[in-house]
Structure 1
Amino acid sequence: MSFLTLQDGTQIFYKDWGSGRPIVFHHGWPLSSDDWDAQMLFFLGKGFRVIAHDRRGHGRSSQTDTGNDMDTYAADVAALAAHLDLRDAVHVGHSTGGGEVTRYVARHGAGRVAKAVLIGAVPPVMLKSASNPGGLPMEVFDGFRAALAANRAQFYREVPMGPFYGFNRPGTPMLEGVVGNWWRQGMIGGAKAQYDCIKAFSETDFTEDLRRIEVPVLVLHGEDDQIVPIADSARLSAKLLRHATLKTYPGFPHGMCTTHAEVINADLLAFIQG
């Protein structure tokens, strides 16, 4: 097992498999690098070097009670990229990880990043405000915090059983293994860090970061995403990015990298090789 110890003593767990051009995967809340199994095995088999880390406070990394914010998450990625001396890398982020990718590429990626991919990602900003009338109201995120604090174990069953993978949609079969794996990943992380991360993914404004990114960015989003609604995320991000390609999927849920891995993997490969 590989760990990088940061300047503040936080230990970041990471996987680094294979050789060749590096692809770095950034997971969503409240999960871990294990959420990328289907992508890492696929791209490893295609001859790429695949890397994924557990964000601070998540998975096997230190259960931090401080630094659980996007600036620190991006700085942690920068430290890992320097440690591994990553060049010509492609950074792929899902959900909260898409926010992490956006901030990292905009502020730290010069000379190291060739392309980026945002999948079901939270930018530009999720929270509803006068300047973002299409966002979600604060009550939604306060509800997340209350549910996590009251009974995290139960909350982490309800999210994957319902909207995350679209298992609440009529005719969609429940995949118990997928639900259990989501629960497992969430529960090995730290409650305080995951609680703080709700503010990080919902209130951080990535508008200027998106405008600063100069590399090509592929924006993928499920049109039936119940966690990060497409109208106030991917469609706006694609307009702010300088070199964006937007692709949407009718009926696909937030967790489409798992439920429709073969489709997503093929589109990622075409973009990376293009």
Structure 2
Amino acid sequence: MRFRTTLATLLLTPLILAGQPAAAATPVTIAYAQRTQTWELVLTNGDVVEVPEALTKAPADAANAGAQAPFLVSGDGRHFFYYRKSDGLFVERTLNSTERVVSRRITAFAINEEWPLVSDDGSYIVVSTSAPGLGVFVDLRKGKTLPLPGKTDAWGFNGFSPDGKRLLLSGDRLTVFDRGLRARTRLKTGLYPTALANDYHTAAVPVGKWEKYRKLRLLNVRTGHASRTVTVRLPRGQYIDDLDFDQTGRLIVRSKTRTGVAIYRVSKASGKVTPLRTIARPDVKVWVLPGDSSYEKWTEK
């Protein structure tokens, strides 16, 4: 039987088994979030933590009243983000911390007009908009909202490096920025990569028909050299729904299945896939995995 509690209770409860030294305890992180009557966190030890402070829908005075309110979990499973009911501000939290406002410029009024994106370590936020373009850049380590790079919002967001130290944006040039939004590398290319490795110059590009990608190329954003097209050997009926690099530079694909999500490591040379794990979809209307954006293919029933 799973233990169910509220986050307020959890803040008063150590996440270490009694009698065990802290160094030996397995860290408890967020396996996924789900929405029932309220948002809930399902932890890696099976416990369920309710987050009643989080909005589930945009309020009546929002631009898109009633739209689903985003709830995000960082890729490391340690940080979560939501629009809070009390004032509509977008806040960050961990299992052992109180709320921290990300930026007063990110509010529930703009739900479904703006979409926050979170780095794997939960320390950097970028907001994409319906303009199109990008709106707010926030470095939570420094507690700073940064001015737009090049003083323009005419950027497309391509991805964070896994370590959160670089951002890949597209404009008239594909550009790698550091956390301070200083340009490090620029490249003119017709390719649109969606992931950047921790070497800060290897990017991954899905190839094929949108929503049915089964191929990819690797792009060197310093030299402009692109690899040959590699077919990813996914099971029949599965596609590249999410493409990324892990901390060691290996290619990782997440793919929707009939029962949930499958995660694979992909050979850059042959496209052969190695299954890493599968996650069964819970029987709820909405669920969110660590590293998800505001919408992912597998969130559909």
Q: Is the pair's TM-score, using the shorter chain for normalization, greater than 0.5? A: no
Structure with the bigger RCO (C-alpha within 8 Å, sep 6+) is: 1
Which structure is larger by alpha-carbon Rg, 1 or 2?
2
Name the structure where strand makes up a greater proportion of residues.
Answer: 2
